[in-house]
Structure 1
Amino acid sequence: MRLTKTSAALALALGALLAPALTGCIGNPVEQIVEGAVEQAGGGDVDLNSDGGLPDGFPTEVPLYDGEIQGGVAVDTAEGGGWTVVVAVSDPQASFTSINDQLVAAGFESQFSGFTDGSGTGMYVGPTYSVLVTVADDGSGAVTATYIVTQSASQ
């Protein structure tokens, strides 16, 4: 089955929101919720990772902050797929600055980037992939960086 753009976006968004809940849980019902939502939206292949590893096919061209991977999701689409990865970070502002520097050094062009009120958001476009990154407190006092990676529009 193939995913539509709508179901791929839904799966990536759900993965971004729910990936921290997957950490360390085998057979977690959250995985069933995301997969069920994808099926309702048109079906497709989803890889939800709750073991701290990268989701299937995560592009090596996208550098990640050197922190513990909390979880992630890969969505297989006819348009090339997408990935969400959540990484634990320490200091929000220093982490966001480091992530920005890593992406720019890897050849990604910053479309916008900013840090205010304890959280940062940036959008970066490379020749093959686009990356949306947010760094923020997840509400429980833990600070995470969430990467949403998709095929660049030029692909």
Structure 2
Amino acid sequence: MTTLRNRFTVPVAIALAVVFAPSLAACSMIPIDGIIEGATGGAVQSGTDVPEGFPSEVPIFDGEITFGGSLGDATNRVYNVTVKVDGLESYDTIKAELEAAGFTSAVAGTAGAGGTGAFSNADWGVLVVVSEDGSNGFLANYTVTSAETTN
């Protein structure tokens, strides 16, 4: 359990910084990418597309990308992608796509208006959260880390 906790705790904290960076940047003139780069020592990339270098082995739900970002250096890179989905039932589709791509599920399930799953293969760890986001409808957030980063 410690390995699973270590595998996802640090990347989730980094992903939260990446996810909230666009909101913070929109509220001020602070160069948030530069601040994160300075704090982590790695390059930051953010926008509304799948980030450059995102692993092709990780399937992404076919929907509108609302955020894409990455953080870190070449060997310790964390990717984050948020995509609009049809509803909570999209979680089942995402889980099936990841399993069909060779990922195994360590933790997965839905409760209320959300679904969460932690998946991995030999190369990647993937944390997926599907939830309702008010007027934006349902979103799926993918946080992807290299197995090298988490071992």
Q: Normalised by the shorter chain, which TM-score bucket? A: 0.7 to 0.9
Report the CA distance between 1:9 and its aligned residue. 6.0
Q: What percent of counterpart residues are identical?
A: 33
**Equivalent residue for 1:46, pick from 40, 44, 47:** 44
Q: Within 5 A, what are the aligned runs for 1:5-154?
A: 10-18=13-21, 21=23, 28=26, 32-39=31-38, 41-49=39-47, 52-77=48-73, 79-92=75-88, 94-153=89-148
2:122 is paired with a residue whose SS is coil
Aligned-partner residue type, residue 101 of structure 1: A
Aligned-partner residue type, residue 138 of structure 2: V
1:127 is paired with a residue whose SS is coil
Which has more helix, going by share of residues?
2
CA distance in 2, matches of 1:48, 1:31: 15
State the TM-score, normalized to the length of structure 2. 0.79
CA distance in 2, matches of 1:63, 1:139: 25
CA distance in 1, matches of 2:80, 2:138: 16
Which residues of structure 1 form unaligned runs of 5+? 1-5
Count, aligned residues:
141
Aligned residues: CA RMSD? 2.8
State the TM-score, normalized to the length of structure 1. 0.77
1:97 is paired with a residue whose SS is helix
1:91 is paired with a residue whose SS is coil
Aligned CA distance change for structure 1 residues 7 and 36 (closer, same or farther; 3 Å)? farther
CA distance in 1, matches of 2:46, 2:70: 7
Q: Is the 8 Å Cα contact of residues 114 and 122 (structure 1) preserved in structure 2?
A: yes
CA distance in 2, matches of 1:115, 1:103: 16
Aligned CA distance change for structure 1 residues 128 and 88 (closer, same or farther; 3 Å)? same
Aligned-partner residue type, residue 45 of structure 2: D
